[in-house]
Amino acid sequence: MQLVVGRIGRAHGIKGDVFVEVRTDEPELRLGPGAVLLTDPSSAGPLTVESGKVHSGRLLIRFAGVKDRTDAEALRNTMLIAEVDPEERPEDEDEYYDHQLIGLDVVLLDGTLIGELTEVVHLPYQDLLTVTRPDGTEVLIPFVSKIVPTIDLENQRAVIDPPGGLIDPTEAESDGGPETSR
């Protein structure tokens, strides 16, 4: 199975180094020296990581065969893809690959079906689960343990405990703040 693990950014210096926007929780494994990565577009690869380091808080990588700034700039915006065993799990038991979550039934604590998990949206501060309801509408669920206490891969379901109003806006609770109409 293929996982997107990064996107090549701008070149750095004259020796072929590039900044990489990391899209994996395991950069040392997926983007470490010796890693062979497929690319999108496929004509840019495969690429083999020759070396890498953190520079100014960002990952800086040199690929084998990329010898100068011109070669490096030609790779800009190329997606880096790792080949991963579909049975492989992240090291942390509370982490999941997106492909493990897509297709799960999303249910409330009492077992009421809310819908199917159709996408994981990765944002800088938190991930969101896109749930497609039986009527075709979508709802975004913050992927935090308080709201999503259980991921049960064996039974193919995600159990949620949403605050009032998250699933059905008519159930939203007032915060006691000032009223908006008079």
Q: What are phi and psi of 32, to 5 degrees?
A: -80, 165
Q: Are 88 and 3 in contact (CB under 8 A)?
A: no
Higher pLDDT, 14 or 57: 14
Q: Are 142 and 126 in contact (CB under 8 A)?
A: yes
**pLDDT on residue 174:** 58
Sign for the CA dihedral angle at 131, 137, 142, 147 comes to negative
**pLDDT on residue 182:** 46
Cα 175 to Cα 23: distance, rounded to the nearest angstrom: 37
User: Residues 6 or more apart from 124 whose CB is under 8 A from it?
Assistant: none
Q: Is the pTM of the predicted complex or chain greater than 0.85?
A: no
